[in-house]
Each structure stands twice: as structure tokens, then as C-alpha cells.
Chain A
Amino acid sequence: MSPVRASRRSADAYRYSSRDWLGKASAGLVCGVFLALGAGGLLARFALGGVGRFSLEHQFTMWLVSPLLLAILCACFMFRSGLRAWAWLGAANLLVWGLLLAVP
């Protein structure tokens, strides 16, 4: 058996289960909230060129938080562990918030 095939076999042997649900769901909720907020911020800052307080564009970015958060919450169970969920979603947060805070 070649090493390539062996590694693929071991990857396929991973079985998803709801065992690590708390780790995954907490990552989905906490990182999801900040990611959704950050994504709305990116949209407001870079795509819309800034939005006024409570303007319709601001309201739209506020509404955006709900579908993004729900999508992240639903998808976070596809990470292989709670640790991986926190790492990936945390990294995504760093990227989004880095852009948001670093770019003047």
C-alpha cells in the first residue's frame, strides 16, 4: 500500500460525530458573532465607502449579521474538532478584523 493511499484512507476513516459539540458550537457562536460583525464592517467600509448612523445601508449591514451567524453556526459542526473550529474561525476573525482595524 502506497503512503499516499494510506493517508487518504486514514482521512476517510475520520467519522464525524456530535461528540465535540460544545467546542464546535461555542466556536461557531462566539467567532461567528464577531465574524458576522466584521463582515458587515468590511462591507460598510470598503464596498459602501462608509455608512451613516442608522442609514438604510447601516441597517442592511446589521441585518446581515443574522444570516451569516446562522450559516456559521450550521456549518461549524463540519470541523473535525472543537479546537480546529476555534483555530479556523479565529484565524478568519483575525483576517477580517485585521483588515478592518489596520486599514485606516
Chain B
Amino acid sequence: MRSDVIKMYKDVHTWTGIVCGLALFIAFYAGALTMFKAPLERWASAPSVFGELSPLENVPVLVEQVLARYPEAGQGYQIVVQPSAQYPARMSWELPREDADEHHPPQLMHADLDAEGELVVARAAHSPLPQLVDELHEQVGLLLPHEVAMPIMGMIALLYGLALVSGCVVLLPTLVQDLFALRIGHNLKRMWLDVHNLLGVFSLPFHLVMAFTAVIFAFHDQIYAAQEQLAIRGSDKPQSAAAPATPAAPAVGAATGVVSGASLAPAALVARLAEQQPDFIPRRFVYRESPQRGPALVVFGDNPRYAMRSPEGGVAGLDPVSGAIEMTDYMPGMQDAWGATITSFFSLHFGTYGGAPIRWAYFFLGLAGAALFYTGNLLWLESRRTRQRARSAGAVTQRRSVQVMGALTVGVSLGCIAGLSLTIAAAKLLPALVADLELWHAGLYYAVFVGVIAWSFWRGVARAAVELLAFAAAATATIPLVSLLSLWLPGVGWNHADLSVLVDVVALAGSLVLALLARRTARRVRRAPADSLWFIAARAEGDAGDSLVTNA
């Protein structure tokens, strides 16, 4: 390939990478954590007032009692088959809320019958923490309204796609000789480049999928609107396939009165589903009475043999009277080619296929992605730092851009890690102290995030990297520490005797890795040559006003 083309794409790669790298670090680190949103939600949520679910056979009694006391639940309610932190009771319904949308779910009410058959009702009390982690992931860490943050995320995703392709063009000519080479040695830029290439090439399919899907997640509303205005105009002639396609809200059955009880009882529905789709494991049934469409019944659930559209599983529309599966556009294993293709886009982004091994793979690919962007920034810094000339006796002062970018790289990435760790650890303490959990979780995250960045600018790259890595390690260690405290101190926090202990184990492992990195970085700083970014000038020590990276 022509060298001028490679040089041009190298420029493209450098600038797209440096513009979007830090935002992508946050998106990937938080995204890796969302792979285990369910255990995290369980870990962060206090034990609910509900015990074991009441028998499925008693649901008609439960529904009757709830509707007698809460008529508004007649608009729509859910019957839970598999409980979770978000749905701890047999029955749930939504309180009316105007500003509710898919990103700000409405307040849920839960109800179940206790062992004596008495009705127990409680407001949703699951932790808002996993939602915050999800939002940080979706909005690349930006504390902005969703409508503002998403287009910014979309532009970053476009730059990210550009960076991926241009990076491959740059690597192509030397791919064979560079790919399996990890030259750890004197030339640090060489080593970082090898690590960067290794991570980039081996997780390239993952990254291409993320860039391609993230663009759509950011702009789907705008694209749909533009298509309707311009591109598929005149195509509104009746289509056989087009009629029942409104997502997740199929119009099934006539006025059969789901809510009034003319439909199949949930126990019978589960049996009917098992007849039709033996591999499908229902999670919850959603009943909806809409004035326009009449009653509708939708089931969410998993089919481990197929890819599923979202972490909520697959969806099917049922006939409430017969229990027959009627809408299969989003039903794993029953989709046509179009439906299965579109589901593959979603599931490839969310890792909702292949079970636990894929979740773990996505977790590590996400962390590797964060490392890819971190090493990319280091390469930018290494190739821009001012080198000490052989004979020059004077001070080597690094360029302003290198100082700022270095401090930002260290501050943003470690601020994100420490902020997330501390706000996760706070989940077991905050409910006893404050009322507005959502606000406190977000406030805590951003306070730590901003504080760490400020620290990084104040102390300079080299000092801050060591200190902040140690701080991030300590912050992450507070997660299992809070669980330990909950074990020992009465009245503090809680622990669940289930898989959510995974959160503590992973946090402990993460903390150890960060501590190890802190030690390695400290050693690196001690051995750094005088013109390195990592050099701390001995004589300037204690002089707080000195520039970030200097050589005395």
C-alpha cells in the first residue's frame, strides 16, 4: 500500500482516537460492569419485604385483591414467574408518571400474598445504582439530559468507527511482523504500540459491532423520522407483513377482558407455553388494557438456545384466551430471517447469547477496550513528548498539549474507575442515611470523578498516576469491605446468600490488579529518564507551582 495513504490514515486514526478515546474509556468500563447488571442490582438492593413467591395457582386471588384496592392497576400489570431484585413479588404495576420513558422507568408497585394469604403491598425498593452505571455507559459518562447526550455519543461512535478502520489500514502493511510481537524492552513506545495492536486486532470484531450498533442506538429516532419523511415515502400501501409489527405491544384478541379474568390463568399459560416452546423459560407476563387496542398479553423470557433481543430476554405476544403464541417478531427461535437478523444486532451489542461464558467474555472484552483507548492515549503522548537532545543542558519542558492530555488521560480513566467503585460501595450504606438515592449515587460518582481529574492536573502526570492508582485500588476495595462490615456490624447494610457475592469477589480481584499497577507505575517513575512523561524532577519536588512534567 502507498505510504502516503498510510500516513493520511495514521493522521485520521490519531485525531479521531484522541478526540473520542476518553469518552470511550468510560463507556467501555461502565459497559463491562453492565454485563452483570442483575447480580449488581441484587447486591445493591436491600432484602425486600417479600419472601418466596406465592404459588402461581393463587394468582387469580392476588389479582382480584389488588384490583379491589388499587383500581389503577387495571390499566396494566405484570405477573412475575422468576423473581429478581427489580421484580421481587408475584405481581407488579406502574404508578402513573408523566415523564416516564424507556430511560426513566416509572415507579413500580409490588404485591404478593404472604403465607397466611394476606395481601402485602410495597413500593419498588431496588437500588437505582445499576441504572446509573447503565446511563454512564450509554451517555459516555456525560451528565446531560438523554436527548443531548445521545447525539454526542453517536458522533463519538462515528469517530470510533473511523478510528477502528483507519487503525487497521495503518497496521496492515506490517500486520504479519507486528501482530504476534510483544517487544518488551527499552523502547516503551514500541511496547505500548505492540500492546495496542494486539488488543485492537484481536477484539476488532467486537469493536466493529459496538461502533456499528452504538451509531444506531444514538440516532434511531432521527433516522426513522428522516426515512418516514423522505426515503420510504409512498410505501404506505397495505403490506401483509406490516400489520402486527408495533414492538412489544401486539394487539391480540378482541375485547376478551384480560383484566376482568376471562383469560387463561398464569399457571395454565405457563403450561401452554411449555407445550408450544419447550425451551422457552418465561420470566414475567405483561397484561395491558388499552382503550384503542383492547387487552394485550406479552411474555418476556429466555431461550438459552437462541440469541435474545435484550438483557430482558425475548418477547412474544400471546392470545390471552387460548395462550397461543401470536406475535413472534421478537421471540427467540420463532423469528423469520428479518427478525433474527435484527435481533442479532441487539444481542451482539448486549452479549445476550451463549449464556455465562459470553457474559464473561464481554466483560473482559470491555475492559480490554478500555485498555485499548488508554494505551492509544499513551502512544499519542509518547510520540509528542519533547525529547532531551543529546547535548542540550537546559531544561526539557513538555509541550502544553502533552501536559494537559497526560493529566486528562490519567484523571478521566482513574476518576471513572474510582468514582464507580465508591458509588457502588455506597449502595449498602446510603439507604440508611439519605432519601434521594439516585441523586446521591450520581453526586458521589461525579464528585470523585471531578476530584480525581483536578488532583491529576494539580500533581502532574507522574505523581498523580501512582497516587490515583493506589486511590482507585482502595476505592475498589471498599466494595467487599462494605459487605464485610454488613456481616459484622448489626444494622449496617446486608448480604444476600446467592451469586451476588460475585460482585465482592470481582471487586477484590480488581482492587488487587489496580494495586499491582500502582506498584509497577511507582517503579516506572523512579526509573524514568529525565525527558520522560513519567519523570519527577528531584529538585522540583515540593515546588507545587512547577509545571506538570519538567526536568530540572
Residues of chain A having any CB pair with chain B under 8 Å: 15-18, 21, 29, 37-38, 40-41, 44-45, 50-63, 65-67, 69-70, 73-74, 77-78, 100, 104
**Complex contact B158–A50 (CB within 8 A):** no
**Complex contact B224–A62 (CB within 8 A):** yes
Taking CB atoms, residues of chain B closer than 8 Å to A21 are 11-12
CA of A61 to CA of B211 in the docked complex: distance in angstroms?
Answer: 18
Task: Look across to chain A and name the residue whose beta carbon is closest to the beta carbon of B239.
Answer: A52
**Complex contact A54–B247 (CB within 8 A):** yes
Question: CB within 8 A of B338: which of A44, A50, A60, A67?
Answer: A60
Task: Look across to chain B and name the residue whose beta carbon is closest to the beta carbon of A39.
Answer: B231
Question: CB within 8 A of A37: which of B212, B227, B236, B342?
Answer: B227
CB distance from B14 to the nearest CB of A (A): 9
CA of A61 to CA of B162 in the docked complex: distance in angstroms?
Answer: 22
**Complex contact A17–B7 (CB within 8 A):** yes
CB distance from A10 to the nearest CB of B (A): 15
- Count of inter-chain pairs, beta carbons less than 8 A: 125
**Complex contact A63–B4 (CB within 8 A):** no
**Complex contact B235–A44 (CB within 8 A):** yes
Question: CB within 8 A of A74: which of B4, B162, B220?
Answer: B162
CA of A22 to CA of B542 in the docked complex: distance in angstroms?
Answer: 45
**Complex contact A73–B227 (CB within 8 A):** no
Question: CB within 8 A of A44: which of B12, B165, B231?
Answer: B231
Known contacts A52-B239, A55-B242, A56-B342: does B227 contact A69 (CB below 8 Å)? no
Question: CB within 8 A of B339: which of A37, A38, A56?
Answer: A56
Question: CB within 8 A of A40: which of B5, B12, B231?
Answer: B231
Known contacts A60-B338, A62-B223, A74-B166: does B158 contact A54 (CB below 8 Å)? no
Question: CB within 8 A of B215: which of A50, A52, A69, A100?
Answer: A69
CA of A100 to CA of B231 in the docked complex: distance in angstroms?
Answer: 7
State whether the Cβ of B213 lies closer than 8 Å to any Cβ in chain A.
yes
**Complex contact B11–A18 (CB within 8 A):** yes
Task: Look across to chain A and name the residue whose beta carbon is closest to the beta carbon of B215.
Answer: A66
**Complex contact B161–A37 (CB within 8 A):** no
State whether the Cβ of B246 lies closer than 8 Å to any Cβ in chain A.
yes
Q: How many residues of B contact A (CB 8 A)?
A: 46
Question: CB within 8 A of A41: which of B211, B231, B245?
Answer: B231
**Complex contact A66–B213 (CB within 8 A):** yes
CA of A53 to CA of B236 in the docked complex: distance in angstroms?
Answer: 8
CA of A57 to CA of B245 in the docked complex: distance in angstroms?
Answer: 10
Residues of chain B having any CB pair with chain A under 8 Å: 2, 4-5, 7-9, 11-12, 158, 161-162, 165-166, 211-213, 215-216, 219-220, 223-224, 226-228, 230-232, 234-237, 239, 241-243, 245-247, 329, 336, 338-339, 341-342, 345
**Complex contact A66–B216 (CB within 8 A):** yes
**Complex contact B245–A18 (CB within 8 A):** no
Taking CB atoms, residues of chain A closer than 8 Å to B11 are 17-18, 21
Taking CB atoms, residues of chain A closer than 8 Å to B247 are 54
Known contacts A60-B338, A77-B9: does B241 contact A50 (CB below 8 Å)? no
Which of A16, A21, A52, A55 has the most B CB atoms < 10 Å from its CB?
A52
Taking CB atoms, residues of chain B closer than 8 Å to A69 are 158, 215
CA of A63 to CA of B219 in the docked complex: distance in angstroms?
Answer: 10
Which of B7, B215, B235 has the most A CB atoms < 10 Å from its CB?
B235
Taking CB atoms, residues of chain B closer than 8 Å to A67 are 212
CA of A67 to CA of B220 in the docked complex: distance in angstroms?
Answer: 13
Taking CB atoms, residues of chain A closer than 8 Å to B345 are 63
Task: Look across to chain A and name the residue whose beta carbon is closest to the beta carbon of B2.
Answer: A16
Taking CB atoms, residues of chain B closer than 8 Å to A77 are 8-9, 12
Question: CB within 8 A of A62: which of B7, B8, B220?
Answer: B220
Taking CB atoms, residues of chain B closer than 8 Å to A44 are 231-232, 235
CB distance from B395 to the nearest CB of A (A): 32
Question: CB within 8 A of B245: which of A17, A56, A100?
Answer: A56
CA of A62 to CA of B211 in the docked complex: distance in angstroms?
Answer: 15
Question: CB within 8 A of A63: which of B230, B242, B329, B342?
Answer: B342
Query: Can you list 26 A-B pairs with a CB-CB distance of less than 8 A?
Result: A16-B5, A17-B8, A37-B223, A37-B231, A45-B234, A50-B234, A51-B232, A51-B242, A52-B241, A52-B242, A52-B245, A54-B247, A55-B239, A57-B241, A60-B338, A62-B220, A62-B223, A63-B345, A65-B216, A67-B212, A69-B215, A70-B161, A70-B215, A73-B158, A73-B162, A100-B230
CB distance from B9 to the nearest CB of A (A): 7
**Complex contact A70–B224 (CB within 8 A):** no
**Complex contact A55–B241 (CB within 8 A):** yes
Question: CB within 8 A of B341: which of A18, A60, A104?
Answer: A60
Taking CB atoms, residues of chain B closer than 8 Å to A56 are 241, 245, 329, 336, 338-339, 342
CA of A51 to CA of B240 in the docked complex: distance in angstroms?
Answer: 10
Taking CB atoms, residues of chain B closer than 8 Å to A59 are 338, 342
Taking CB atoms, residues of chain A closer than 8 Å to B246 are 54
Closest CB pairs A-B (n = 8):
A52-B242, A41-B231, A50-B235, A18-B11, A56-B338, A66-B215, A74-B165, A70-B161
Task: Look across to chain B and name the residue whose beta carbon is closest to the beta carbon of A65.
Answer: B223
CB distance from B321 to the nearest CB of A (A): 26
CB distance from B200 to the nearest CB of A (A): 15
**Complex contact B4–A16 (CB within 8 A):** yes
Taking CB atoms, residues of chain A closer than 8 Å to B211 are 70
Taking CB atoms, residues of chain A closer than 8 Å to B241 are 52, 55-57
CB distance from A57 to the nearest CB of B (A): 6
**Complex contact A37–B230 (CB within 8 A):** yes
